[in-house]
Structure 1
């Protein structure tokens, strides 16, 4: 756990980029959340005939075309088009939001110091697509359609693209972004599933405080909508059942919740030292004021997610035990929401309970990309002054004692804490405030 001291550089946010099931424009995303819109619908990008679910939250506005990357110089457009041949969808989304954030921050190549600008990105492990090996497998089938393992080296392997692995390595988003933009500062990749985003922000926060860089492009990208990953999730995770109206499926903290909804997305932010941002006249959107991380094993503690989230809140909010609102992980699972709500209630016991939001109710679980998109939505709410209401909260659950925002007009306050956790008990969270509020 690391906390900001008066003698350390202050860290601020100056640019945003987003790809989500509710669009690729941050302000439009926030407006749609305010209106209670949902990005959940029947899945179109993967076959669902053999799956127990048919609905999810796809980032349908992201096509991978060059205009998704924002306004770019012609040379950079050509470079990204060429590089896209070795990028899967998660990596493409990650690169796109990075370019959008750089543009939003006005951080052009002419004004940034390559050696003092770094990249820290969150990403889950990435799964290959079946078609990468289809031709090779076909070559190794006998007359009865049985796969002959001893034929793979001679017949199957030559049919596989020699560069296929580069399309699926979780460090490639940060690598591509750094290469395309000549960012030679600190570079790191964080791979802890849903907790990747706040952990990446925390790593960037500490890196800037230590003086290793002036600017860090921090982001995360992920997808749970994938032929293999969706299949794995159906076997291993607690998923919400399909409903006649898919928009009603994701119900964080509601008594009738029955699981999470799979989605995809990415987000990025530009973090700078306050001194650097002010020197270039940047538009400051908020200040990173605290960070916490924790890992608690289920074999050691029964309610391990409760304890992990409680640890994160204690660390991230040590210097400011009261915040304007909490952005909960809010996965929508029975046990997960109960444990998270208990941790939030325990931490804020004795204080005025802050309102809680959970954007997964609108766009589901975006995997490693979700935490960054959620932080961006809370940042925009803090700027606008109004929280977005939970769309599907109808029946309170006594086991979830949180003050979930369920109506318009609720103040977002001058600060917030956002937390995320993995099914294995790895958690991370960040506290962000308006500049000068803390």
Structure 2
């Protein structure tokens, strides 16, 4: 089977985001133009400007145990928040796809899941560190092996490994097919899809649980973001501080969330009577950096788009719209816009463009999958969602950014782009049905 011969489809989806949990709630929020950005409530010790973040309020310890992870509640003690979110959206996606994991051929069901590098809570090491301090208050390294580490929670490491979402998903679904974990920060979502596409096209599985999870709201993560990234302060508009591609954009807002889709070979999906939401046509990825390791977002984005079009055999004018990465940072949006036009030529300035980070923030690894699901919810209604927070697109970016109201469309084929500041970029082409 050649790359273009194997038809691969999406048959189910699950989403936990700052604008809702599940397709119905997220669709309602997008129709209202609601943003999930607000003052942080559930995390202490944040270093974020004005404490503005995109937080999932409705997913907490109680709802996790009683609703979203009811069948896995005995494992919650070894799941940090990212793992909990990832496991929960996979369960939602499997249910939406109508896959009965008790009866589905276990060896033909696989998992391809991405996550950020996870940070443990500082207080996890408080007691172990305290017993290693001498009477002067200095830390004594020689005490760690004999006294300090014994105070650690025995399974603490299992709570923070980025491969654990895929492990928990595979165990819960009894998925014995190919399983893989990816950690490419924001580029992860599209790459998990590309890997799953390859698995199904080469006949190694009939269905794959695909997705990503991310949480950038822990104290350590917010400090990293404050030091390394351009963050919006929201002083002019606290409700919409992140403004992708806007002339007044001032930075991004970070967040949390997770999303998952079920990907199947089309013939097998139709054989079991599955509803088909979209076709995955292809994609591409690229990483570009100079000799000092500084990423070149423009070149990476351009390369990823060219590779995606080559894999599908499509021309630029066959793309109905673009779901951009759109961080809302000054340099990032300019670089992405330039990469789009480098790859698509003049067509790149005409194709409708949308971005979701004004509504859901940047959750790291999770953002690509969240934005994919949001795009699918739009094509299901025959629209491109507007870019929430953006009112005056920057002419220097030169993109046809959709603002205000949803844009009705006939062409449901869209390009999803993601990138990292390190110069990693990924793109997939999806055809909504």
1:69 and 1:96 in contact (8 A); partners too: no
1:236–1:342 Cα change, 3 Å: same
Give the alignment partner of residue 412 of structure 2, picking from 400, 411, 414: 414
List alignment gaps of at least 5 residues for structure 2: none
Offset, 1:243: 2.5
Q: Does 1:24 align with 2:21?
A: yes
CA offsets per residue over residues 132-191 of structure 1, 9 Å max, x none?
A: 111111212233433222222222111101211000000000001111111000000010
Offset, 1:387: 1.7
Question: Which whole-Å CA distance do the structure 2 matches of 1:170 and 1:238 have between them?
Answer: 25
User: How do 1:22-421 residues align onto structure 2 when only pairs under 5 Å count?
Assistant: 22-48=19-45, 52-65=49-62, 77-78=70-71, 80-243=72-235, 245-299=237-291, 304-318=296-310, 319-321=313-315, 322-351=318-347, 353-412=350-409, 413-421=411-419
1:333–1:51 Cα change, 3 Å: closer
1:59–1:3 Cα change, 3 Å: farther
**SS of the residue aligned with 1:348?**
helix
Question: Which whole-Å CA distance do the structure 2 matches of 1:123 and 1:172 have between them?
Answer: 9
Question: Which whole-Å CA distance do the structure 1 matches of 2:96 and 2:125 have between them?
Answer: 39
Deviates more, 1:370-379 or 1:312-321: 312-321
Question: Which whole-Å CA distance do the structure 2 matches of 1:199 and 1:416 have between them?
Answer: 16
Q: Does 1:5 align with 2:1?
A: no
**SS of the residue aligned with 1:165?**
helix
Question: Which whole-Å CA distance do the structure 1 matches of 2:108 and 2:371 have between them?
Answer: 27
1:301–1:198 Cα change, 3 Å: same
Q: How many residues align?
A: 427
1:185–1:134 Cα change, 3 Å: same
1:290 and 1:315 in contact (8 A); partners too: no
Question: Which whole-Å CA distance do the structure 1 matches of 2:233 and 2:329 have between them?
Answer: 12
Offset, 1:68: 7.2
Offset, 1:65: 3.8
Could you tell me the TM-score, scaled by structure 2's length?
0.94
Question: Which whole-Å CA distance do the structure 2 matches of 1:89 and 1:363 have between them?
Answer: 17
Deviates more, 1:247-256 or 1:266-275: 247-256
Question: Which whole-Å CA distance do the structure 1 matches of 2:136 and 2:417 have between them?
Answer: 52
1:178–1:50 Cα change, 3 Å: closer
Question: Which whole-Å CA distance do the structure 1 matches of 2:389 and 2:2 have between them?
Answer: 36
1:217–1:308 Cα change, 3 Å: same
1:70 and 1:103 in contact (8 A); partners too: no
Deviates more, 1:62-71 or 1:371-380: 62-71
Question: Which whole-Å CA distance do the structure 1 matches of 2:100 and 2:306 have between them?
Answer: 38
Question: Which whole-Å CA distance do the structure 2 matches of 1:414 and 1:320 have between them?
Answer: 14
Deviates more, 1:144-153 or 1:193-202: 144-153
List alignment gaps of at least 5 residues for structure 1: none
Alpha-carbon RMSD? 2.1
Question: Which whole-Å CA distance do the structure 2 matches of 1:174 and 1:51 have between them?
Answer: 30
Question: Which whole-Å CA distance do the structure 2 matches of 1:176 and 1:229 have between them?
Answer: 23
Question: Which whole-Å CA distance do the structure 2 matches of 1:50 and 1:215 have between them?
Answer: 41
